[in-house]
């Protein structure tokens, strides 16, 4: 197969092309590292926000109870019993809500964490592959690297999907067991 020359384009040596490719991969890796760090910061901020929300709920429950106590203290013994029942029911409801929310958030965090690890592993493998291809001596070596990468990536994705399936199944069983308890 004959190559067609284009006299309008400047000639770039193979060494310069390789250097450009390696530089591009290095810049992509640096950008990904910044992206991964920002993602971790966002996840931490979300967890902090949820913790603050729970503290807010606790505060609201406390102030509502205090108001109810003040109102019912001026009434007869029947109102006092009603207040105690309301307190107990409200506490049970809030505790159940908080317990379910804590378990749900923990499950979401575990799944999200596993997804982030899988994504990070895949991105890093792709960047490593790109570096190896950029350093390939010729098209035959690049094709061999590509075939090996595709096989590795296929195994990696299969393992990740199995892990995610097992994790979600376990978390669903744990949630079901919690709801079955009296």
Considering the entire predicted model, what is its pTM?
0.61
pLDDT tens sequence across 116-156: 899 999 999 999 999 999 999 899 999 999 999 999 999 99
pLDDT tens sequence across 52-73: 776 766 666 666 666 666 655 5
109 contacts: CB under 8 Å, gap ≥ 6: 43, 47
pLDDT tens sequence across 70-106: 655 555 556 556 667 777 777 777 777 777 778 888 8
CA 1 vs. chain centroid, Å, equals: 49
Residue in the structure block whose two tokens are 């207040």: 83
Plot region of 137 (φ>0 → left; ψ -120 to 50 → alpha; else → beta) = alpha
């Amino acid at each position: 197969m004959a190559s067609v020359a284009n006299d309008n384009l400047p000639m770039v040596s193979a060494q310069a092309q390789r250097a450009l490719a390696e530089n591009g991969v290095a810049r992509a890796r640096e950008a990904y590292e910044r992206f991964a760090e920002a993602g971790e910061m966002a996840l931490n901020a979300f967890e902090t926000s949820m913790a603050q929300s729970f503290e807010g709920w606790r505060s609201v429950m406390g102030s509502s109870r205090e108001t109810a106590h003040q109102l019912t203290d001026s009434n007869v013994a029947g109102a006092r019993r009603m207040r105690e029942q309301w307190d107990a029911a409200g506490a049970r409801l809030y505790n159940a809500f908080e317990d379910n929310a804590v378990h749900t958030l923990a499950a979401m965090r575990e799944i999200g964490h596993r997804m982030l690890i899988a994504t990070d592993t895949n991105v890093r493998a792709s960047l490593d592959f790109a570096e190896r291809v950029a350093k390939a001596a010729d098209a035959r070596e690049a094709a061999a690297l590509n075939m090996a990468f595709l096989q590795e990536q296929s195994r990696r994705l299969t393992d990740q999907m199995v892990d995610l399936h097992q994790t979600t199944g376990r978390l669903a069983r744990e949630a079901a067991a919690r709801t079955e308890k009296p």
